[in-house]
């Protein structure tokens, strides 16, 4: 019985040690360039559906679909969107 429990405890400890909160992790992957802090337009949908935000970044329209305060979103980019021709982004 003891020979069985030790590997199970080791595997469980390693699995739990790998769990981190990705949303609060520092940016350690690559240098960052400039930030686009311009306002985004948002569309709020009823509970249970994702919300959407969009704004221009240079000539491109960037969409982000998110749900509440979740730490993930879906992103889409429309290159050379005519609505972004005068954007300072």
Kindly list the domain boundaries of the chain, sorted by start residue. 39-89
Question: What separation in angstroms does the CA of 77 have from each of 54, 63, 67, 87?
Answer: 9, 6, 19, 15
Q: 1-45, pLDDT tens digit by residue?
A: 556 667 667 666 666 655 556 556 666 677 778 888 889 999 998
Rounded distance between C-alpha atoms, residue 43 and residue 33, angstroms: 28
Torsion sign, CA atoms 61, 66, 71, 72: negative
Q: Is the pTM of this model over 0.75?
A: no
Rounded distance between C-alpha atoms, residue 67 and residue 84, angstroms: 25
């Amino acid at each position: 019985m003891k020979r069985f429990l030790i590997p199970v405890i080791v595997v469980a400890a390693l699995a739990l040690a790998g769990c981190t909160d990705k949303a609060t992790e520092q940016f350690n992957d690559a240098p960052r360039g400039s930030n686009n802090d311009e306002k985004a337009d948002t569309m709020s949908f009823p509970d249970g559906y994702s919300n959407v935000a969009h704004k221009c970044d240079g000539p491109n329209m960037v969409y982000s679909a998110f749900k509440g305060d979740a730490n993930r979103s879906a992103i889409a980019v429309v290159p050379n969107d005519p609505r972004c021709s005068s954007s300072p982004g």
